[in-house]
Structure 1
Amino acid sequence: MSVFKSRPALRWLVPSAAAAVVIGGGAAAGTIVANADPALPERSAAQLLVDLQNAKVDGLSGTIVQSADLGLPKIAGLTDEASGTAGLANLVAGSNTARVWYAGEEKARLALVGTAGETDVIRNGADVWFWQSSDNSATHLKVPAGAEHKPQSLPTGVPSTPQDAADAALAAIDDSTKVTTTGAAEVAGRDAYELVLEPRAQQSLVGQVRLAIDAEQHIPLRVDVYAKNATSPAIRVAFQQISFDKPDPQQFVFNPPPGAKVTETDASKLERDAEKAAEQHEKAGAAKLRGGGKAPEVIGEGWASVVTAKLPQAKGKDAEQVDGMLGMLPEKSGTWGSGRLFAGSLFSVLITDDGRVFAGAVAPETLYEAAAKK
């Protein structure tokens, strides 16, 4: 269960000379060490990256809590629970809880537990089950021998595991990232080292990303994302409880509850459906461009990058809904024109009156500068 398995490109980070370059902007790999408690041997940032790369466990189970407080305004129909988008509301200002069991690549289970019920993804050999208690429905498929269909996460709106969050954070490491260590931590009753990623770009709203790495098993136990100058994390994904004992095989056996609606499918059908959805999405995108939209572009690099696009003209009820939501956002204007700003502690989105959108993990001023140039 390696954090680097899904991103082989990350292997260049360690233990090569490139690792020494990203750590402290060229500092020797051994000069920056974790100020660990006496019970833990000192580990450099480069050594912790090696630990992450080589981490492998045969089994674990635990409870994961994802919490967020992005400092976003409440927008009716978008970020409020009354709108029926409680999942989104919790992702931007709330918490989610999940249980995880793992006993090898072919035995894994992830369950989201929420007020609306439970949603599970279960892999047991060739059998894969997707189950939702809210409507007592289940989808079952058989994985062909030798196939790589290994479900790693739940549908949209489900919290990531610390491993997934760490994977994304590590993918952002480049020469614009300062990598250090800071002390030891205790997560879910286990000793851990802390690896700290800090953007060098002044425009970035991200202050630090802190990874707590298990001192013995070397997997991420917690990932915290801090806004600049903040003392508490805007996003936290952490194990609340964890055991590295191999789970009972019965944890991966799923029997549909009485009355459940079961849909039988196969991996090849899912692939065809995914390809069809991608094709439809591509056609829809082309239609939007014909309607006045513009494909997204990236301005800048790394932590200071800004994504921009031209929106197609909304019509009818869609236009009314869009105008209603935008009307709740504060008005902004400048040499770039005028528009509305949707901003939180970690990102900003600018929607101009002429249909342009600028977004990034940057301060609004950076969006204004980008808008003035386009």
Structure 2
Amino acid sequence: MAPYESDDDTNEELRTGRRKAARYVVPVAVMGLAAATIGLVPAFAGSGDPDLPEITAEQLIEKIAASDVQQLSGTVKVSTNLGLPDLGGLESSFAPGGGAGGSEDEGSSADPSTKLMELASGTHTLRVAADGPDKHKVSLLDKAAEYSLIHNGDEVWAYDSASNEAFHMKDASGAAEDKGKKEEAPKDVPTTPKGMADEALKAVDDTTSVTVDGTAQVAGRDAYKLVIKPKQSGSTVGQISIAVDSKTGMPLKFTLTPASGGAAVVDAGFTKVDFSKPDASTFDFSPPKGAKVTEGDEAKSEDQALPKAEEDLGHGLEGFDGLKTIGEGWTTIARFDTGGEGIPSASGDAGSFLDSLGTKVNGEFGSGTVFSTRLVNALITDDGQVYAGAVTKDALVKAANAAK
């Protein structure tokens, strides 16, 4: 199938489809596995490209928007390659109960907030199930253990078999009288290809090229391939590829490739999927005998509470005073003032470690340090200004110079 390129005349249709798509998030993407939103990747499964009727980019976006899959079960393979530096195990010290001086009273290993970091790198297998808006299960499978998040009605459980610990909370989203008293389990967290596709479609505007680039087979199902690319230069995003099920319109695979090339930064795809109703027992859970149970409202601090998806994914920087954005579309840069003096100086091993994580830069703005991943870069100037975005180092320096 020949690629179909969108043009300026179709942008309003694309935006309409995008807005509709944002309302149809598959309920499998539930609870605190939000870290998977930045990266997941197995290769397309199957041999040969299926012969499907031609479809335009607008029609395929509308197909995604109209998809309303409520029941499914399956396996998702997740790979993340952000190019983060090896911290030598230091990251564990920031988890509740971890690091030097930590104790088992400082948190629960079953608390979802302690599991998010695991999805920020490497390859993982998730087993997922959904039955309507109030029954979901996501299990992170390890070599010798399993971590599960179960949402069943107004009950939310998380269980870590490795430590035999459970975390329990009430989903107060449907009970107005309980709001503000109990933690609310977030919905619409993009941990599946569908959730990620909805987030990507929000970026479709005049700065974006959208095409249909042939077909593929994913998890034994025929799919169209929707490709989204920035039209602007300076973005670290190369392209986003979404495999869309030809029957249901549900995205089966999501791949984000960096402009620098190489392995995908984010890639998530079903390796198995079944759209029949899961057995009701799938969503039943009772803590095993002897398991340590932590109640969500007993968390030691707000930092240990299950984060709200919207705050995590869309509003993570709103707490900074004077947050501003520079540019538009894929090259948008967030700018804010830390109120400090940039990166503190250090000597010896500590100084060498900090230097190894960043690159010193100079410009009309003065001097600073750029910290980079394969997708997001951040410039912290010596006077405490921060510029961050999915843009190149040169774009950050240019923005800092222009701000002076």
TM-score tier (shorter): 0.7 to 0.9
Q: Distance in 2 between matches of 1:141 and 1:87?
A: 16
* Of 69, 79, 97, the match for 2:81: 69
Q: Distance in 2 between matches of 1:22 and 1:217?
A: 20
Q: Does 1:357 align with 2:386?
A: yes
Structure 1 residue 357 displacement after superposition = 1.7
Aligned to 2:372: 343
Q: Distance in 2 between matches of 1:201 and 1:227?
A: 14
Aligned pairs for 1:197-276 within 5 A: 197-228=228-259, 230=261, 232-263=263-294
What letter matches 1:201 in structure 2? Q
* Of 198, 201, 205, the match for 1:174: 205
Q: How big is each residue's C-alpha offset from its partner over 1:190-248, in whole Å with a ceiling of 9 and x where there is no partner?
A: 11101111111111111111110011121111111111252642210111221112111
Structure 1 residues 311 and 115: alpha-carbon distance in aligned structure 2, compared to 1, 3 A threshold:
farther
TM-score normalized by structure 2?
A: 0.68
Aligned pairs for 1:153-164 within 5 A: 160-164=191-195
Structure 1 residues 342 and 78: alpha-carbon distance in aligned structure 2, compared to 1, 3 A threshold:
farther
Aligned to 2:157: 129
Q: Alignment identity in percent?
A: 37
Give the aligned length.
326
Q: Does 1:183 align with 2:177?
A: no
Aligned to 1:4: none
Q: Does 1:18 align with 2:46?
A: no
Q: Does 1:55 align with 2:64?
A: no
Indicate if the aligned counterparts of 1:331 and 1:339 stay in contact, CA closer than 8 A: yes
Indicate if the aligned counterparts of 1:209 and 1:226 stay in contact, CA closer than 8 A: yes
Q: Distance in 2 between matches of 1:114 and 1:192?
A: 29
Q: How big is each residue's C-alpha offset from its partner over 1:290-313, in whole Å with a ceiling of 9 and x where there is no partner?
A: xxx853221111111111222243
Gaps of 5+ in 2: 1-9, 18-47, 100-113, 177-183, 312-318
Q: Distance in 2 between matches of 1:253 and 1:356?
A: 49
What letter matches 2:71 in structure 1? G
User: Over aligned residues, Cα RMSD in angstroms?
Assistant: 4.0
Q: Distance in 2 between matches of 1:261 and 1:183?
A: 51
Q: Distance in 1 between matches of 2:333 and 2:385?
A: 13
Structure 1 residues 318 and 217: alpha-carbon distance in aligned structure 2, compared to 1, 3 A threshold:
farther
Aligned to 2:333: 306
Indicate if the aligned counterparts of 1:121 and 1:153 stay in contact, CA closer than 8 A: no
Indicate if the aligned counterparts of 1:210 and 1:224 stay in contact, CA closer than 8 A: yes
Structure 1 residues 186 and 244: alpha-carbon distance in aligned structure 2, compared to 1, 3 A threshold:
same
Indicate if the aligned counterparts of 1:64 and 1:99 stay in contact, CA closer than 8 A: yes
Q: How big is each residue's C-alpha offset from its partner over 1:234-268, in whole Å with a ceiling of 9 and x where there is no partner?
A: 210111221112111111111211111234568xx
Structure 1 residue 109 displacement after superposition = 0.8
Q: Distance in 1 between matches of 2:16 and 2:156?
A: 40
Indicate if the aligned counterparts of 1:21 and 1:175 stay in contact, CA closer than 8 A: no
Q: Distance in 2 between matches of 1:182 and 1:70?
A: 25
3-state SS in 2 of match to 1:225: strand
What letter matches 2:159 in structure 1? W
3-state SS in 1 of match to 2:379: strand
Aligned to 1:192: 223
Q: Distance in 2 between matches of 1:203 and 1:177?
A: 13
Structure 1 residue 324 displacement after superposition = 6.3
What letter matches 1:63 in structure 2? T
Report the more deviating stretch, 81-90 or 67-76: 81-90
Indicate if the aligned counterparts of 1:221 and 1:239 stay in contact, CA closer than 8 A: yes
Q: Distance in 2 between matches of 1:372 and 1:187?
A: 46
Structure 1 residues 91 and 58: alpha-carbon distance in aligned structure 2, compared to 1, 3 A threshold:
closer
Gaps of 5+ in 1: 1-15, 24-35, 282-288
Which one scores higher on RCO, CA 8 angstroms, separation ≥ 6? 2
Indicate if the aligned counterparts of 2:73 and 2:276 stay in contact, CA closer than 8 A: yes
TM-score normalized by structure 1?
A: 0.73
Structure 1 residues 297 and 262: alpha-carbon distance in aligned structure 2, compared to 1, 3 A threshold:
same
What letter matches 1:101 in structure 2? A
Structure 1 residue 175 displacement after superposition = 1.4
Q: Distance in 1 between matches of 2:172 and 2:66?
A: 28
Structure 1 residue 122 displacement after superposition = 1.2
Aligned to 2:179: none
Structure 1 residues 90 and 314: alpha-carbon distance in aligned structure 2, compared to 1, 3 A threshold:
farther
What letter matches 2:366 in structure 1? G
Structure 1 residue 344 displacement after superposition = 2.9
Indicate if the aligned counterparts of 1:208 and 1:228 stay in contact, CA closer than 8 A: yes
Indicate if the aligned counterparts of 1:199 and 1:207 stay in contact, CA closer than 8 A: yes
Structure 1 residues 250 and 313: alpha-carbon distance in aligned structure 2, compared to 1, 3 A threshold:
same
What letter matches 2:279 in structure 1? D
Q: Distance in 2 between matches of 1:17 and 1:363?
A: 26
Structure 1 residue 22 displacement after superposition = 9.1
